[in-house]
Structure 1
Amino acid sequence: MKNSLYCSLFILLILSASCSSIRVVKTEPADNFALSSYQTFAFSDIESAGDIPQSRFFRSQVDALKTAIEKQMARKGLRRVDTQPELMMNIGIKIDEKTQTRQTDIRSDPPNYIGQRRYTWRSREVEVGKYRQGTIDVHLVDPKRNELVWRGIVEGIVPNKPEKLQKQIDEGMEKLFDKL
């Protein structure tokens, strides 16, 4: 009985971990790139335009992203400095409003009756909901050679609640930097 309970809990844990909405899209290291040959890093200046990047909420989330990245880099043995870093980090953030749709099906959406023996039915896209998809693109640049040495892209669904967003940022950066 206990074994089946533990087995069920283990399967539930694996299923919940595999349902994450965050995925690493791509990582591209440069030829002969070894993170162990670097000890320090710094963030590039962030330039932004428009209303959203100027908001206090957006700036706080960028700071949270930097904190999550700094934590992952410290795990890899690098420390953040303000002057003469061995690596510069550039962060790109893109958030798109998406529409979730489903296609109608004759089994679930019966045909319309137009008149005497004139039934019609067309397949069409029906809007189900809206969501925001975020993409973070991280570039590591060697400033001495002015060369891109590593690039990683992670994307996921952006939650509406700030506490969930912070958890999502931490999880996304952990997944991305595990590939570094």
Structure 2
Amino acid sequence: MNIRASWPSVMLLCWALYGCTTIDVKTDFDPSADFSRFRTFAFVGLTDLNQGGVLNNSLTRKRLETILSRELSQKGLRQVGLEDHPDLLVHYWVGIKEKQRVESTGPTVGAYGWRGGYGWGAGYSGVTTYEYKEGTLITDLVEPVKNELVWRATMVANLEDTARENIVLVERAIAKAYKDYPPKPAAK
């Protein structure tokens, strides 16, 4: 088998496995917080940003909390109950917006011909409207004694067509958002 011929196939497969949805992630944190002292966390709540009922589905809540819990556990934190007085409280918001993207193509003009034949042609212009859903997930880590926000991650992406694809999208978003958690202490 020619390696050259298979290279585009490998690239296409990698692209398909990784997904083509861009995830916009922004994080912010309190630089004065001592993240080394945080060892435990507990979920305290959730908010449906646009009251669309997305969090009325207990499967959605469980999946989000499982993904968040797994990521925080990989960062050295342990999930406990509220009665165990956790070092961090986790609150998250979810929102879905219906959006539209309009693309227009302008008129085109072109020449063609070769070896004696020639001609001119005009193209047409058109407008295409795409409808899609944009999802937002915001996670807050709050220090409970002072009730102060120490970490916020905001993730925005265009949603996929199926629940399975969106679960993978959320996993990618949370991994990207928490890749630099805990933040490095400020140089003194």
| Counterpart residue number, 1:29 | 29
Equivalent residue for 2:133? 132
**1:25 shift after superposition:** 2.6
Q: Does 1:60 align with 2:75?
A: no
- Tell me which moved more, 63-72 or 156-165: 156-165
Distance in 2, Cα, partners of 1:145 & 1:85: 13
Please tell me whether residue 109 in structure 1 is matched to residue 109 in structure 2: no
Tell me the equivalent position of 1:115: none
Cα pair distance change 1:146/1:23, threshold 3 Å? same
SS at match of 2:178: helix
What's the counterpart of residue 91 of structure 2?
90
Counterparts of 1:174 and 1:72, CA distance in 2: 7
Gaps of 5+ in 1: 111-123
Structure 1 residue 155, shift from structure 2 partner: 1.3
Which ranges of 4 or more aligned residues in structure 1 deviate by more than 4 Å? 1-19, 47-51
Amino acid at match of 2:23: R
Contact 2:99 2:132 in 1 (8 A): yes
- Give the deviation of 1:53 after TM superposition: 4.0
- TM-score (structure 1 length as normaliser): 0.76
1:72 aligns with 2:71: yes
Q: Is the 8 A contact 2:22 2:157 kept in 1?
A: yes
What's the TM-score once normalised by structure 2's chain length? 0.73
Q: Deviations over 1:2-57 (max 9, x none)?
A: 7657865675566557764142431111113343321110111235585624643x
SS in 1 for 2:166: helix
| Unpaired segments ≥5 residues, structure 2 | 109-122, 182-188
When the two structures are aligned, how many residues end up with a matched partner? 164
Contact in 2 for aligned 1:27/1:179 (Cα 8 Å): no
In 1, distance between residues paired with 2:16 and 2:9? Answer: 10
CA RMSD of aligned residues (A): 2.8
Residue 118 of structure 1 aligns with which residue? none
State the Cα distance separating 1:71 from its structure 2 match.
0.3
